[in-house]
């Protein structure tokens, strides 16, 4: 073998290596040139057969070719390995995907949406207000005097001497009447906070739906007909309900609304869902509405209790425990 053949083998190895496009082709190239019977390996075994004057130069050339070819091979091998690692495992796009569970609104959110839809059809607009309130909107403007037990710090979540988490959505009534003159016809959903002892029917945070109607000639008949229409739309036409006389500082006369509750044993019980009444003239005077010209009614219903009655839920705590076994039923 002549020195020119050594050079030709080196050039051939480099040319064919440049054409390699994948790992399988690279392995075939390695076997052909660097394997035990490869061309470069065989070239090294031919050094001893060269003439004495060519042997030294042939050894240097053969080793140079082997080192260059081997180095080029290792570089390309690392390039393929890095590309495979970056790309990751091949994916079969024909394999069916993993189903993604669809979320849905919480039962309380569902109930609020249904309530707003019902009252929307009855001609009510929607109003909202802040959950952190001052004493004026939460008590004073609602005719709740300084000595009233409802203002006891033990019965409210005070943040400082004059600010607290609102204890009722009636605060939104005041804010609406401060900025809008009659006629007024709004409902206001929202969270309220009271430090009640938690049991099957009480929580320290719950939701209310407030309603307010103010216009000339509004009477108790309008209140009763509106409540009746709402209850029979939300619960069904055969639902039994009643007004029960009560007292609230911001309404006069005042009533509580009860729904006939039938438990799992078939026993009938009356469950309070909220309070209502005609707006007290003092409330109108406090927000600058002429109480001689205008009258109005208001109610505040507990949204959790409405949901419990409609869906047969016996414990209010289930609505806040985030147990998917319970929530997936709605």
Task: Write down the architecture of domain 107-327 according to CATH.
Answer: 2-Layer Sandwich (3.30)
Walking along the chain (330 residues) 10 residues at a time, the average pLDDT comes out as 75 84 84 82 75 75 82 84 62 83 88 96 96 95 90 92 94 95 96 93 93 96 96 93 94 93 77 93 94 96 91 91 89
Domain ranges, ordered by start, for the chain: 3-87, 107-327
Measured CA to CA in angstroms, residue 283 lies from 8, 71, 115, 136, 233 at distances of 106, 92, 26, 12, 30
CA end-to-end span of the chain, whole Å? 87
| Helix%, strand%, coil% for the chain, nearest 5 | 45, 20, 35
Residues 6+ apart with CB under 8 A from 163: 132, 133, 134, 135
What confidence score (pLDDT) does residue 294 get? 97
What confidence score (pLDDT) does residue 28 get? 86
């Amino acid at each position: 073998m002549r020195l020119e053949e050594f050079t030709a083998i080196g050039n051939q190895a480099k040319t064919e290596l440049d054409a390699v496009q994948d790992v399988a082709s690279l392995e075939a190239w390695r076997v052909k040139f660097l394997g035990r019977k490869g061309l470069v390996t065989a070239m090294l075994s031919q050094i001893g057969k060269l003439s004495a004057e060519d042997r030294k130069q042939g050894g240097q050339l053969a080793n140079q070719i082997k080192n260059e070819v081997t180095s080029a091979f290792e570089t390309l091998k690392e390039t393929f390995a890095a590309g495979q690692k970056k790309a990751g495992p091949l994916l079969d796009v024909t394999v069916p995907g993993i189903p993604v569970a669809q979320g849905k609104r919480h039962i309380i959110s569902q109930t609020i949406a249904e309530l707003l839809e019902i009252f929307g059809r009855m001609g009510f607009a929607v109003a909202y207000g802040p959950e952190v309130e001052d004493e004026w909107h939460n008590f004073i403007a609602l005719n709740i005097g300084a000595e009233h037990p409802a203002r006891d710090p033990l019965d409210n979540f005070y943040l400082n001497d004059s600010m607290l988490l609102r204890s009722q959505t009636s605060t939104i009534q005041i804010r609406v009447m401060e900025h809008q003159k009659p006629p007024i016809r709004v409902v206001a959903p929202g969270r309220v906070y009271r430090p009640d002892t938690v049991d099957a029917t009480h929580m320290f945070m719950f939701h209310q739906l407030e309603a307010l109607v103010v216009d000339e000639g509004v009477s108790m008949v309008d209140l009763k007909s509106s409540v009746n229409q709402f209850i029979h739309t939300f619960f069904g036409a055969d639902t039994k309900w009643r007004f029960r006389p009560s007292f609230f500082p911001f309404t006069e006369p005042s009533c509580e609304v009860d729904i006939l509750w039938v438990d799992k044993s078939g026993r009938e019980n009356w469950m309070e869902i909220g309070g209502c009444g005609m707006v007290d003239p003092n409330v109108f005077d406090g927000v600058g509405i002429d109480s001689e010209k205008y009258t109005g009614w208001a109610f505040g219903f507990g949204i959790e209790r409405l949901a419990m009655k409609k869906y047969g839920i016996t414990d209010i705590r289930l609505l806040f425990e985030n147990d998917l076994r319970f929530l997936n039923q709605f």
